[in-house]
Structure formats: structure tokens, C-alpha cells
Amino acid sequence: MSALLEVDHVGMTYLVGGLLNRRVVRAVDDVSLRLEAEKPEILAVIGESGSGKTTLARMILNLARPTDGAIRFRGADLARLRGRRANMDFMRAVQPIFQNPFEAFNSLKRLDRYLFITARRFAGARGTEIAAHADRALRKVGLSLAEVQGRFPHELSGGQLQRIAIARALISSPRLIVADEPVSMVDASLRMAIVSLFRSLRDELKVSILYITHDLATAWTVADRVLIMQRGRAVESGDARAVLAHPQHPYSRLLKDSVLSPEDAG
């Protein structure tokens, strides 16, 4: 099978501090993963704060450049993307969903404006097609344009805003969604609804999802595979149920013991 995404021995090094106390921080260290083009799946990247998972997500979104290794999307090295068209094609195919839905939207702008701009920019929609694209995307997440049009972010709940953020990501018909802690700012009662939505996107729209999380309970529910990170390194990976039920690495066992009992998760 051909690869949709290849992360090949990637690392990220930062210099932090001032002239007198400068030090090197290895945020990501020799991480590799692969998603197949012909097999849409949800890969959960799991780790505590400071594990490097968000830095990894930023590199996959081409928002940060690895200091070593390579990231390839559909065989193209992200470091070698040149020109507006190549970058637009990449952004159309790889869409982000961020942690805090209240920060994803300007409180002074109507929500439909974000959807319309995305439809014009990434779907090439014009005229009445713009609203039609927005409405189709919203219906995929259980909303409609009639419910959203003309409304400001403060008029909706966090769960509704996160679904609108997902709808905006879907307008361009992406092949990969990078979701960075997408349920951490949502009420517990809505978390499973959103992760269930991710499963539907995988099954019905054939979208692969990189699900960045510290939450083993939702990873247990949604993921096909997991990759567990500690201090920038991938310490364990494999089938989600197998790894979370019977972790082999001491750090993975510690996460399971402190956060999740798979028997209770059902």
C-alpha cells in the first residue's frame, strides 16, 4: 500500500533561555509513524503535557520544521513544498482541529463567515455554492447552516463550536485531520459524541485522523492504533486495544494504572 503520511525519524530541538543560561531542549526525538492511503484510520498520539505530541502535530501540519528526519505527505517532503499552489493543495488535504473552540473563532465575527471563507478558498465555491458547501459540512456534524448563520461564538456552546470547527475542516474534503486535544475543553457529556463523530468521518468519508490526546479513555474508544510518547520519544505503539489493555513499557503501564482501566471503559 502507498503511504498517506510518513513521519521518518523526526526530531525537533529548541534553544531556550538567555545568553547565560541557554540550554537545548529535545522536544521530539526520533519519532516515526505511517498512515496508509488506502486504509483510513484513527491514530491516537498519547502523552502527558511536555511529551512532545503537540510539537509533533505542528510539524505534521507544516507549522514547524523538523530539525532532523523527514515528513512526507503523499510522497512529497513537506520541507520541499514550494509555491502558493503546492502549499494550498497541502492545506486543502490536511486540516487542523485545535484544542479550544472558543479560541478558534473571533468573538466579534459571525461563525458563518469562517465557513464561507473556507468554502471560497479551499473548495473553490462561488455564488450560491458557498452556502451549499457550508450547509453540507455542517450537516455531517449534526448541525445546519440555518442554526449557525448570523450567530456569534458566544451564542453557542463549546460542543457546538467544536462541531463547527470540524465542519470547517471538512469543507475542503481533506484526507487527513490533525486533531490536537479536540475534546479537552468540552464538557464530559459531549466528549464521546465528538469522538463518535470522528469514527463516522473515518468510516463514511474515508478521512484519516491523527488524534492528539492525554485522555486514554477516549483513545480507547476511538483509536485504531496508538503511539505513546514520553519526553519526546515514542515508547510504545500498536493496536489500540492491545496496547491499552496490556501495555509493555513502564510509562504506558503507569498511564493505564493512573488514568484508565480498560475493563471499566467497556
Residues in Cβ contact with 154 at an 8 Å cutoff, skipping those fewer than 6 apart? 107
| Longest Cα–Cα distance in the chain | 60
| pLDDT level of residue 22 (50, 70, 90 thresholds) | confident
Taking a C-beta distance cutoff of 8 angstroms, is the pair 214, 47 a contact?
Answer: yes
Taking a C-beta distance cutoff of 8 angstroms, is the pair 177, 209 a contact?
Answer: yes
3-265 maps to which CATH number?
3.40.50.300
- The domain ranges of the chain are 3-265
Spell out the alpha helix ranges (H) of the chain. Answer: 53-60, 84-93, 101-104, 111-123, 128-140, 145-148, 158-170, 188-205, 216-222, 240-245, 250-259, 262-265
How many of the other CB atoms lie within 10 Å of CB of 91?
16
Lookup result for grid cell 514550494: 82
Query: Cα(46)–Cα(229) distance, rounded to whole angstroms?
Result: 6
User: Parallel, antiparallel, or unpaired for β 76-77 and 68-73?
Assistant: antiparallel
**pLDDT tens digit sequence for 168-208:** 999 999 999 999 999 887 777 778 888 889 999 999 999 99
- pLDDT higher than 70, residue 262: no
Per-residue pLDDT at 215: 87
* Residue 136 vs residues 7, 132, 143, 146, 153: alpha-carbon distances, Å: 32, 6, 9, 12, 20
- pLDDT higher than 70, residue 263: no
The C-alpha cell of 69 is what? 528526519
The C-alpha cell of 8 is what? 521518518
Contacts 24+ apart (CB under 8 A), 155-158: 156/111, 157/187, 158/101, 158/102, 158/185, 158/186, 158/187, 158/190
Per-residue pLDDT at 155: 93
H helix or E strand, kind and range, residue 94: strand 94-97
| pLDDT level of residue 259 (50, 70, 90 thresholds) | low
Residues in Cβ contact with 194 at an 8 Å cutoff, skipping those fewer than 6 apart? 159, 162, 163, 166, 182, 183, 186
The C-alpha cell of 40 is what? 483510513
User: Parallel, antiparallel, or unpaired for β 225-230 and 42-46?
Assistant: parallel
Q: Model's pTM, two decimal places?
A: 0.90
**pLDDT tens digit sequence for 76-103:** 999 999 888 899 999 999 999 988 888 8
In this prediction, residues 16-45 reach a mean pLDDT of 91
